């Protein structure tokens, strides 16, 4: 079967609302490589959008899931519970940042984790308003969409957003917004639009994911913690994209020495199986009444088994350190191009959550065209990359942290060649 034949059927059968970045139909995958239905091999630097920190089909994850598959696949934890669900909750309560007693709930997607964190915050505080940041991405459900700080394509055509959601500019010095400005807008928001005593939570990604891999400046994170404490507001960390060793630490909040009251997790939590979680202060987590949280598939046994194995693998294979090493090598290679490639305006990111931002030469004006050209060029050479950023001008790298050195080096060469070729073409 050919990719192009499936693509025609796909266009006929599936809503265009489910956007696509490649027409590479997967046949099989192993660690950091994917083979398509035509037998062509690709290096995967997308990781199913930050899901595969432990790689495709890690043997330990597959073993754990196979064992669970042979025992049972679904009972619904609210009906007939299972021990693994409890074991994983205990484990997350122990590792999520915060020196306080914690409890956990499971859901299926990142958006659901965010929805549940907001429900818990509202139930615990008796308040309704939520503050988020411009450029944030928190999911495609109604509250997730409202919290998301990017209109195109996430909010277009979907009518009125959920109320009582406010956005503060995310500080990006490169584009002229510093921490002071963000805090000043937050202060004005409290004066002009919403009494801080009505705010249930501030939600923040420690490193914006879809928004462009911008790290929250330490000063802002510290200030947010203080503002929350001053006004009885809860701090929610959305670690859906940043979690599980990607940034060189298990959680990105550990870079800030700040603990959130509630932490949202998903993606690499379960190495390719659908699972999300909210972990937080025990007394807050107990605010909703019995039956107020949960879901038919929430905490699916196969995904829970996978997640327990993922946490073992991260530990046993030292993936936090490995992420820092790989990220350092990637940044070094990108830095070596800076003097030749005028379109590179920034290289950044903690650990292996690395991105390169492209602009119009001689300015910091975004060039989505260049970023997309690099992505397509790399795809042609057998490397799957993703773009991101409010202006779509950032190429982000989300390779498995378990990638073998030889494959990683091959990918670095493709990245360099793709950027160089695109720059040469842009000059012509």
Ligand X SMILES: Cc1ncc(COP(=O)(O)O)c(C=O)c1O
* Residues at the contact surface with ligand X, assessed by CB under 6 A: 49, 109-111, 114, 137-139, 205, 209-210, 238, 240-241, 266
Sequential DSSP letters for 169-185:
PPPBGGGTB-HHHHHHH
Q: How far is CA 256 from CA 274, 296, 341, 359, 365, in A?
A: 28, 36, 33, 29, 30
Continuous segment of H or E residues that includes residue 224: helix 218-231
Alpha-carbon gap, residue 398 to 61, rounded angstroms: 19
**Cβ proximity to ligand X, 207 vs 344, nearer residue:** 207
**Cβ proximity to ligand X, 220 vs 341, nearer residue:** 220
**Cβ proximity to ligand X, 241 vs 247, nearer residue:** 241
The distance of closest approach from Cβ of residue 335 to ligand X in the complex, given in angstroms and rounded to an integer, is 26
The distance of closest approach from Cβ of residue 386 to ligand X in the complex, given in angstroms and rounded to an integer, is 10
The distance of closest approach from Cβ of residue 242 to ligand X in the complex, given in angstroms and rounded to an integer, is 7
The distance of closest approach from Cβ of residue 44 to ligand X in the complex, given in angstroms and rounded to an integer, is 16
**Cβ proximity to ligand X, 267 vs 377, nearer residue:** 267
**Cβ proximity to ligand X, 119 vs 377, nearer residue:** 119
Alpha-carbon gap, residue 29 to 35, rounded angstroms: 6
The distance of closest approach from Cβ of residue 137 to ligand X in the complex, given in angstroms and rounded to an integer, is 5
Continuous segment of H or E residues that includes residue 247: none
Backbone dihedral angles phi then psi of residue 113, each to the nearest 5 degrees? -60, -45
Q: Single out the residue of 346, 324, 148 nearest to residue 245, CA to CA.
A: 324
Tally the residues of the chain: 428
The distance of closest approach from Cβ of residue 427 to ligand X in the complex, given in angstroms and rounded to an integer, is 35
**Cβ proximity to ligand X, 221 vs 423, nearer residue:** 221
**Cβ proximity to ligand X, 111 vs 310, nearer residue:** 111
Alpha-carbon gap, residue 366 to 348, rounded angstroms: 16
The distance of closest approach from Cβ of residue 92 to ligand X in the complex, given in angstroms and rounded to an integer, is 17
CA-CA-CA-CA dihedral for 394, 321, 136, 158, to nearest 10:
90
Strands, E, within 94-144: which ranges? 102-107, 129-133
Q: Single out the residue of 157, 231, 143 nearest to residue 189, CA to CA.
A: 231
Tell me the residue nearest to ligand X as measured from the CB.
Answer: 110
The distance of closest approach from Cβ of residue 338 to ligand X in the complex, given in angstroms and rounded to an integer, is 28
**Cβ proximity to ligand X, 88 vs 240, nearer residue:** 240
CA atoms within 13 A on the CB side of 290: 2
């Amino acid at each position: 079967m050919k990719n192009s034949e499936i693509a025609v059927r796909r266009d006929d059968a599936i809503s265009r609302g489910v956007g696509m970045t490649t027409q590479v139909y997967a046949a099989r995958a192993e660690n950091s490589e994917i083979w398509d239905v035509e037998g062509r091999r690709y290096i995967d630097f997308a990781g199913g959008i930050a899901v595969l920190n432990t790689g495709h089909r890690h043997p330990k994850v597959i073993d754990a899931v196979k064992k669970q598959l042979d025992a049972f696949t679904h009972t619904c934890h609210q009906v007939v519970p299972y021990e693994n669900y409890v074991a994983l909750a205990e484990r997350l309560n122990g590792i999520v940042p915060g020196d306080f007693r914690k409890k956990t709930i499971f859901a299926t997607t990142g958006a659901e984790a965010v929805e549940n964190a907001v429900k818990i915050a509202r139930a615990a505080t008796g308040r309704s308003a939520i503050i988020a940041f411009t450029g944030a991405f928190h999911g495609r459900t109604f509250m997730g969409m409202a919290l998301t700080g990017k209109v195109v394509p996430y909010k277009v055509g979907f009518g009125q957003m959920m109320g009582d959601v406010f956005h503060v500019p995310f500080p990006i010095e490169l584009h002229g917004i510093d921490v002071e400005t963000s805090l000043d807008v937050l202060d004005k928001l409290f004066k002009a639009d919403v009494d801080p005593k009505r705010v249930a939570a501030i939600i923040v990604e420690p490193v914006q994911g879809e928004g462009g891999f911008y790290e929250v400046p330490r000063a802002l994170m510290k200030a947010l913690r203080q503002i929350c404490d001053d006004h009885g507001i809860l701090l929610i960390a959305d670690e859906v994209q940043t979690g599980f060793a990607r940034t060189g630490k298990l959680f990105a909040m550990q870079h800030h020495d700040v603990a959130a009251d509630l932490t949202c997790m998903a993606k690499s939590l379960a190495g390719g199986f659908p699972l999300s979680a909210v972990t937080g202060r025990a007394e807050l987590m107990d605010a909703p009444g019995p039956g107020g949280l949960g879901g038919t598939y929430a905490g699916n046994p196969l995904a829970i088994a996978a997640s327990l194995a993922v946490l073992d693998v991260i530990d046993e294979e030292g993936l936090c350190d490995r992420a820092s090493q790989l990220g350092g090598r990637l940044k070094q290679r990108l830095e070596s191009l800076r003097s030749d490639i005028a379109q590179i305006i920034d290289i950044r990111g903690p650990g292996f959550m690395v991105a390169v931002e492209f602009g119009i030469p001689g300015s910091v004006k975004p060039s989505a065209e260049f970023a997309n050209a690099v992505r397509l060029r790399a795809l042609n050479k057998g490397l799957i990359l993703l773009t991101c950023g409010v202006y779509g001008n950032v190429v982000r790298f989300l390779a498995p942290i378990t990638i073998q050195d030889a494959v990683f080096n091959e990918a670095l060469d493709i990245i360099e060649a793709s950027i160089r070729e695109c720059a040469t073409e842009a000059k012509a």
